[in-house]
Each structure stands twice: as structure tokens, then as C-alpha cells.
Amino acid sequence: MTTEARRAQAKAYHLAGNLQAARQLYEAILADDPTDDDVSFRLGILEWQMSNGETALVRIAGVLARQPMQLRYRLGEAQILASLGRFDEAVSACRRLLADEPDSVDGWFALASVFETRGQWDDAAQAYASLLEREPAHADALNDLGNCRRRLGQWEAALSAYRRALDARPGFADALTNLGTLLQARGFVDDAIDLLREAARAEPSVAVHHANLGVALAACRRFDEAAQVLSQARALGPGSADIAYNLGSVLHALGRHRNAVAQYEAAVALAPEHADAYNNLGIVLKELGAFAAAAQAFDAALRVRPAFVAARNNAGSLARTLGRMDDAETHYRAALALQTDEAFADASAAAQCSATYNNLGNVLKDTGALDEAVECYRRAIACDSANLVAHCNLAYALTFQLDDGYAILAECRRLAERHETPLNPTPTVHANARVPHKRLRIGYVAADFRDHCQSLFTVPLLAHHDHGAFEIVCYSSVERPDALTRRLAGYADRWREVREFDDDTLSDAIREDGVDVLVDLTMHMADGRPLLFARRPAPVQVAWLAYPGTTGSTAIGYRLTDPWLDPIDAALSDDRYSERSVRLPDTFWCYDPLTDEPAATALPAGQAGRLTFGCLNNPCKLTERTIRLWARVLAAAPESRLMLMAPQGRARIRLLDRLKAQGIDTARVECVPFRPRAEYLRTYREIDLALDTFPYNGHTTSLDALWMGVPVVTRVGATPASRGGFSQLSNLGLAALAAHTDDDYVRIATTLAADREGLAALRAELRPRMQRSPLMDGPRFARNVEQAYRAMWRDWCEQGAPR
């Protein structure tokens, strides 16, 4: 074979990627003629491609020693130096070349590329501009110039460069992609999608173009189409961790959780340092209830990126779900330590810090540090005034902290003004037929149609609705439905799963369903949807059940209450609420324990030899005022002890320190952990007399105690949350156990504690008394609620407003 034939064959091998065969031929040619500079240069480039950069430089240096002015060889040297990270040498090589060849387009391109690789965007842009002075239609340079301008935040200049690149080379896929992604970032989503779709058509076998299109579709919530496009990208680029990650995110958004897990697992297998994929994997696993695997995923994310604030927050959230409050608090405090005030100049960093303060506030509230929790919520709002969740948490937490309805209303109104009012600039028109006696369509909205304390009250109502006069529609956002979810669904005429609906979508669905009366069962508690009600999807909107209080919303016209929570009394006027108060005749609550747990019979004091006071309320209700009351009770009953519910660890230590500070001997205090409902109810067999909290009384907890035969001594305040015990006891004919002063609270508790015989007799009759009372009369309660709905509806039919 002639030398020319061998050279041609070697070049063909080289271009085809058969580098080893090409090397053998190049070396054979050079063995015959060591001065063949073209072959020597090609062999140098081949060495570079085989990651032998230093060897490549030696070979090219030999060529340049013989032909120092050969442009091609000089460009090769500069490119190899840059690839080895020897940027200063690469820049010097390019500048020497341009000094000799100032009009070399390739020289300017090489220099610009080195600057761009190094992140010197302004220098790179100037070099590309110099190139374009010599060749204005250089499409690659225009595209790369656009990238530099984009990095510099020069959006209009970047758009112009990309458009010029496309004028120079129509169908240029890279420029189409870059222009599309920039337009997407600037909010021109439809134009962006058109360009990205064109890029994918221009180079249909290139995975990244399909991937960019899929991400853009996902950004505008076109998840089904995004999943199809990203699946195609995944098939074209099976080795791309980012494509697997993005596909996982879209599948997660579609609720295809197990498919999402598979993609996230593929992403971390391809890129073990992909912290975002580990984090998202943890989120989906948590939603699936695979808590141990979720914890491992969050740990992996933090190993890879120790300063990953979102993963810290998610790990904290999981720890809170598992009841590991110390771990949760540690994660949240660590996340806050990673976030500095300087970061607040960046909106996303401020939002992240706000979320962390909110999460820490939740843990502190759950563990009894209510004042610190309230401060965390306020800091969350200060960091990001758009944090609706934190504002809802603050509004709800104030009901535990304050016995001042006006102060609570003021915060709720601030919440509504900040978050809800912008959604209703004009009056809302409803198409519902104004027929006072028609069959009313009632909609209930909740995230807790499940094994949750709220179901103790929704079951008695939903089970006894008159379906001839009322059509019941439930809008459920339950994350993990269970047997109780299925039971509740059986009571509804129509059951709609709406967890994946955003507020606009759900509002439209409720309007299309023609709901007449829409009931908010959550208010400002977790997973509430205040912005749904702010959109006014139904003509009549009502707040009930979550807690007796106010929403502050101008969109919710009514709140259900009772004569004990809200007596018709000038001293406790209805101007503490944004809604019109509708008083049910008997009770705000109708209770079903949802268990056949036997009642507590014998008085525990008989066997223990001393009386046990108890309170199994959430520690957030154990305010300083409550503890001071208990200290007085325990001092007046020196042989008694106190049983409380508090998680182990930091929270329990904190609580015991607070008790000790108020003069309570902690040796007289027994703390029990949070327990499943059956075990929790059995705890009442160890308690003789329950002491209520103030200013937020026990509500569900007090009904549980009474049903288990344990009397409750309550302190009556000014807010409805502080009058819950009074309402329940009044419905049982036991208003004498409700104290209207601190002194009366101590007197009632100690007098009853001293009367063991009377206490035992009351214990024996409490459950039958409960069962005979309005508190457990489901049919009666349902009729009363239905009459309230009908009255509200008549108001709307007559005047279109609640007042």
C-alpha cells in the first residue's frame, strides 16, 4: 500500500472513531518518514482524544518547531492546553497566533472559547465580537456570544445574538434551544415551546433537545405531554442522569410515584453525586410511606451536598412525621445556620429561609415551645411575605397563645388582605338557581377524610344527612386514603379526589358541580385551602369544625358556633369574627369515638393510693398560664400527681423545666409519649380527673376523656377556643365543672379531687350521660346543621349576601 493510501486509510479510521487502528497506521507512516508533519499532527490530535494530553502536546510541539507559523498546528496547541486546564498558556498561544494573523476567524474563535470555558464571560463576548467583525454571519460564534450575554444578564443582547445565529443558519438546533430556553426563563412560554419543538425536529436523534422541550412543557404544567417527550429523550440518552431526573419529576407531578422512584433511582445510579435526585427520591418515598428508604435518600443528598437546605428541610419534615422531634429540630436549626441575611437579596433563598423558619416553628409548637414557634412564624413571614403556609400557621398558633379575639381577628385579616384580596378584585357572579326550597348541593372540602381526629365529627354528620333534601359532595385532598376514607366516601352522593388540583382547577370544578353551600373544614390548620375559598367558587361559604374561631376572610360569609362558645352577650360580641356567626341550638361538636373501647370503671386512686390529675392535650396548649393554674392545684392537693403527654427528648426536658420554674415538683409528674388512638384512650384508665388547658381548651381530647369516664375541669375565657370545655360540659349538664376565674378553677379541681366517692360516681355515669346528650346525637346534630345551611341559602336567595 502506498503512503498516500495508508494516509487516507488512517484518516478514515480516525474519522470513524477507530482510534487504535488509526494510531497503528500513523505510527507506521512516521516510522518510514519522521518528518511527515501532517501525520504527526493528526497523531497528536488522536492522543488528545484518547486522553493523553501531555503526549499530544509533545508531538505538536515537535511539529511547530519545524513549522512555527502553521495556523492549524497553533490552533491545535491552544485547544489542547485549554482542555488540560492550562488556560493562561492557552490564552497566550491564541494571542500570539492573532498577533501574526489578526484576521484569523479560527484564532478569535479559539480565544473566545478558552475565555468561555474559564467563565470569563465578558472577555469571551469581546473575542466573539472581534470575530464577528470579520465574519458577521458566523452562526456558531453568534450562538456562543448569546450564551455569554446571557451569563452576563444581558437578556436583550443574548436574544439578538441567538436570532442572528438563526438568520445565518436556519434550523440551527443549538441556537433554537438556547433562544427557546431564554424565552422560557423570561416568561414567553408558548414561543419557547415552539422553538424547542423545532430544535427537536431539526436534530431528532439528539436527546438534549427533547429533554429541554420536556422541561419547558413541565414548567407550564403540561405534564402528560412532558412525560412523553422526556421518555423519548430518555430512550435517546439512556446515560443522562439529568434526563432521568427530569422525567422522574414529571412522573411525580402526575402522581405516578413508583415510576418516578424508578427514574430517580436511575439518575443516582448514573450520577452518584446527584444530590437533587436523592432529595426528590426521598420526597416520593415519604409520600409512599416508605419512611426508612426516604430517610436514606435524604441522608445521601446531605452526604453529597452538606449545605443542601431543601434536603435539610425535608429530612426534618420526615423526622417530624416519625415523631423524632429532636432530630427534626436539629435539621431545621442546621438549615437556618446555612442561610445568611445576605442570601435574602435572592428571592428563592429568602423563600427557602422562610420555609425553614416555618418548619422549625411547627416542631417547636408540637413540642410545647409555643412562644418560640410564634416568633419563628413571624420571622418566616418577614423573610418572605408571600409564605401563605407560615401566615396560616401564625394565625392558628395565636388561638393557642391569646385570649383576645380582636387580636386574633386582626392577624387573620392581615392574612386575608395579603393573600386573598388580590384574587377578588371584582364581585363574583354565581349561576346557581335562587330557589329557597330546592335540594341543596353541599360541598365539604378537607384533607383529613381519613384516620384523623376530624373524622370523629364528620362521621356523625355525614352519616345522618337527609339526602332527599341535600346532595353531599366531598372534595378530598387525602394524601394516603385508608379504611375511614372509604367509609366517609360511602356517606357522600359524590366523592372527588382533588389532591392534585390547584386552587384554580378546584374552584372551576366546584363551580361546574353547582355547589350551593361550600364548607371549609380546615381553615388555617395544616393543608387548608384559604385561596380556594378566596376565589368564591360557591355562593354560600361556611367555616366549621377545624376549630371555633375566625378565618378573617371576606369570602367566607358564615361560621358555625353554639350558644356556649358564643353567648349573645354584649361583652363577647360577634365583631371578633369576619364571618356572620350562626349558632347551632346545642353544640358545635357531635362526637363518635369510632371505637368500642370499654369505659374506665374503677377510680385509679383507689389502687394507686393517691389521686392522679391528667392532661393528654398537645404540649402546645400548655401555656405558662395553664402551668401556673396547675401549680396551684397541685399545691392544694399535695398527695396527688400529674400525668402529661410529651414526646421524649428535648421537648420533655423543656416541659419539665417549665413546670419546675412554676414550683411544680417534677418527681410528681409522669410523662407519657404520643400513642396510637387505642393506647391513648386506655391511658385515661390511669387518670382520675382531667385538668383542662387555657386559653385553648381541650376539644377532641376533652370529649375523649369524658367518653372514657374522666371528668374535666375547664377554665372559661373570652375566645371560643377557650370556651370549648364550657360548651361540652354545658351539653352534659355539668357546667359546674367550668370555672370562670382562676380561683374557681383551683377550688373546683381540689374539691372534686377530695371527694373520692363523688368522683367515682361521676366516673361511672359519664359515658351514659355522653350517649344521651346532644354531643353524641348524630341525627339531631345533622338536622340542626341542615337548618343552618337552609337559612344561609335563603339569605343568599333573597339578598345575595350574609348580612
pLDDT at 409: 98
Is the per-residue pLDDT at 233 higher than 80? yes
Cα separation, 464 vs 113, whole angstroms: 75
Instruction: Please spell the DSSP secondary structure of 406-450, one letter per residue.
Output: HHHHHHHHHHIIIIIGGG-SS---------TTSPEEEEEEES--S
Most confident of 8-22, 23-37, 746-760: 746-760
Report the largest interatomic distance among the alpha carbons of the chain, rounded to a whole angstrom.
Answer: 119
The angle formed by the CA atoms of residues 461, 512 and 388, to the nearest 5 degrees, is: 70
Tally: H helices and E strands in the chain: 37, 13
Cα separation, 685 vs 639, whole angstroms: 19
Task: Indicate the helix (H) or strand (E) that contains 372.
Answer: helix 370-383
Phi then psi for 581, rounded to 5 degrees? Answer: -85, 125
pLDDT at 803: 46
Is the per-residue pLDDT at 600 higher than 90? no
Is the per-residue pLDDT at 434 higher than 50? yes
Confidence of residue 353 (pLDDT cuts 50, 70, 90): very high
Give exposure, 535-549, as e/b (b: 16+ Cβ within 10 Å).
bbbbbbbbbbbbbbb
pLDDT at 53: 67
As a dihedral over the C-alpha atoms of residue 246, residue 269, residue 260, residue 274, rounded to 10 degrees, the angle is -50
Cis amide linkage into residue 436, ω under 30° from 0: no
What mean pLDDT do residues 151-176 have? 95
Q: Tell me the per-residue pLDDT of 527-583, one tens digit each, with 9 for 90 and over.
A: 999 999 999 999 999 999 999 999 999 999 999 999 999 998 867 889 999 999 999
Is the per-residue pLDDT at 30 higher than 70? yes
CATH class of 438-583: alpha beta
pLDDT at 13: 73
pLDDT at 802: 57
Annotated domain spans of the chain: 307-422, 438-583, 604-776
Cα separation, 715 vs 725, whole angstroms: 8
Cα separation, 620 vs 367, whole angstroms: 6
Question: Which CATH architecture fits 307-422?
Answer: Alpha Horseshoe (1.25)
The cell for 79 is 485547544
Is the per-residue pLDDT at 166 higher than 70? yes
Is the per-residue pLDDT at 82 higher than 90? no
Is the per-residue pLDDT at 342 higher than 60? no
User: Contact 509/496 with Cβ under 8 angstroms?
Assistant: yes
Check for a shared fold between 438-583 and 604-776. Answer: yes
Q: Tell me the per-residue pLDDT of 211-222, one tens digit each, with 9 for 90 and over.
A: 999 999 999 889
Name the strands in the sheet holding 669-672, side by side, starting at the edge strand that comes first in the sequence: 669-672, 641-645, 612-615, 689-691, 712-715, 738-739
Confidence of residue 608 (pLDDT cuts 50, 70, 90): confident
The cell for 514 is 353547582
Is the per-residue pLDDT at 300 higher than 50? yes
The cell for 536 is 368564591
Q: Tell me the per-residue pLDDT of 733-756, one tens digit each, with 9 for 90 and over.
A: 999 999 999 999 999 999 999 999
Task: Indicate the helix (H) or strand (E) that contains 377.
Answer: helix 370-383
Note the helical H segments in 637-721. 650-661, 677-683, 700-707
With pLDDT > 90 as the criterion, what percentage of the chain qualifies? 78
100-114, 236-250, 391-405: segment of lowest average pLDDT: 100-114
Query: For the chain, what is the mean pLDDT?
Result: 92
Burial environment of residue 360 by CB neighbours within 10 A (0 to 12, 13 to 18, 19 or more): buried
Is the per-residue pLDDT at 655 higher than 70? yes
Cα separation, 671 vs 519, whole angstroms: 38
User: Contact 614/644 with Cβ under 8 angstroms?
Assistant: yes
pLDDT at 571: 75
What mean pLDDT do residues 450-471 have? 97
pLDDT at 84: 73
Instruction: Please spell the DSSP secondary structure of 738-763, one letter per residue.
Output: EESSHHHHHHHHHHHHH-HHHHHHHH
Is the per-residue pLDDT at 142 higher than 80? yes
What mean pLDDT do residues 228-232 have? 97
Q: What is the amino acid identity at position 113?
A: S
Is the per-residue pLDDT at 341 higher than 60? no
Q: State the sign of the Cα–Cα–Cα–Cα dihedral 169, 174, 177, 180.
A: negative
What topology is assigned to 604-776 in CATH?
Rossmann fold (3.40.50)
Phi then psi for 639, rounded to 5 degrees? Answer: -90, 0
Cα separation, 758 vs 49, whole angstroms: 94
What mean pLDDT do residues 178-195 have? 91
pLDDT at 94: 85
